[in-house]
Structure 1
Amino acid sequence: MRIRAAAVIVSGAAVLSALTLPATAQASEHTDAPAKLRSFASNSVRPKDSLGNTKFSNAVINGGKDIVLGVTGTKSVTVTYTATDQNGVALTEAFLWQGTDSSTTDGITGGLGTDDDPTCTETATQGVYNCKAVFNIHPATDMKDNGVAGKWKLFLGAWDLYANASYNDDVATTAIKKASTLTADATPEPVKKGKTITVTGKLARANWSTGKYAGYASQPVKLQFRKKGSSTYTTLKTVRTNSTGVLKTTTKATVDGYYRYAFAGTATTAASTAPGDFVDVR
């Protein structure tokens, strides 16, 4: 993912052009997200006396939902937040990062930046700004390491109209998860009442390292049934996937209805539900 820092127009910030902002805010070339994040958090861009007074609040990442990524395409993730500073806000920066310490190389295991600087608009209340940042995430290039699936943090930084820098590396958290797929096939069809049917399927999830989906082993998956004419599924049993993500179990068919598998998801993988497969009982 590329990052571009450019001047943003903020109400009441006409003096911005006269400021000498830190080097990270002046960069015109696209830079690496983790490197720029570390640069912003490092001592080199902090005021010598203390940090600025910009405070961040009301941060919402992706509408409060997990960020689910497959292996292709682009996922646009919107982050909204409030920046408050009685000295005004000239510029903000936003990063999604994973790790233990945003100011050290070893402390960052993953970093994502925005293509464009966040936009901020001053509200009717002086010194209070509503901001929005958009992260365009490309799984094929940004998520090559499967190990980065899981919890991520939101890093926000800002410069006020006097070029004082502020930052908070844990404003909010989100989960970036691998997309999963699930199938279900009930046989035989049709079947005599009271006879046994076999329900097979497969649970797979995105592998960011290979750019393909691969079977998800040793995962609990629910076999569910919905009677014809009903809108509610009930759980019949829990089945565990084998070493290649395959599911297979049996159950007795008593009435017409739909069988499906449902996976609740994990800390690294999104939930998924197979389409119901109809079985005609005669």
Structure 2
Amino acid sequence: MATAQMPDEFFELIVHHLPPEQPVGPSGGRPRVGNKVAVRVIWFVLATGNRWEDVPQELGCSGRTAHRRLRAWEECGIWDRLHADLLRLLRRADKMDTDVVIVDGVYVRAFGGGEDTGPSPVDRRKLGTKHTLLVSRQGVPLAIRTAGANASDQRQILPLVVLAFPRVGGKPGRPKDLPDVLYADRGYDSESTRLLLRWLGIEPRIAKRNTPHGSGLGKVRWVVERTISWVKGLRRMRVRYDRLGVIRDAFTTLAASVVCFRILHDGVI
């Protein structure tokens, strides 16, 4: 889904969100690493899965410097603003609509534990993290919610849809506050969830447990599986090494932004 080399077009989208470059002071000293160099290293680590300590020197800055920038920019909301910009550009280009959304989750191993981890029910109770994705009908990642691997799917769907659903502009008219239809698999089967979604004006199309397969919902839900494969194509998203939740949140938002960027520029729909 992404190469180790950051495209210049990606930096052009983010540069106006970044803090201004700091010139060398009157007393001289070592110049501060430029924003473009730091973003290039962050992209490299996300795409290749390398450890921060193994970042090649020829990229222009150490992995630890890039790690500090990644955290600082997450705390400033820069990655969220980049993601919102890309969603707006996709809607303007008619490559995304938010009338229909699909939800699904993926587990990743968390070596060393950390925040938002728990014993995985599908990996012999080894510590892991669950990422729950909300995507559009075209597979555009709208939001990613992180929780421990033992978190119930039914407790992830409502916060994701109600609280994290983005109000995407880009066209005339008021942005949608909530989707019209939601698709999900049997893991999210809950009558109380269906009632709440209908009360909010969302039609739930959630497969029921203990019923035969072949409902036809997979004809719509397959796009979320494709998006998960794109996200995991960014190797840093396959296994969790970062103990801090703020770093993991930064990587998930950045991964969603990279997928949006590829859809926008490569036309992968």
Q: TM-score range by the shorter chain?
A: under 0.3
The two structures have a TM-score, normalised by structure 1, of 0.24
Q: What's the TM-score once normalised by structure 2's chain length?
A: 0.25
Which structure has more strand as a fraction of its residues? 1
Higher helix share: 2
Larger radius of gyration: 1
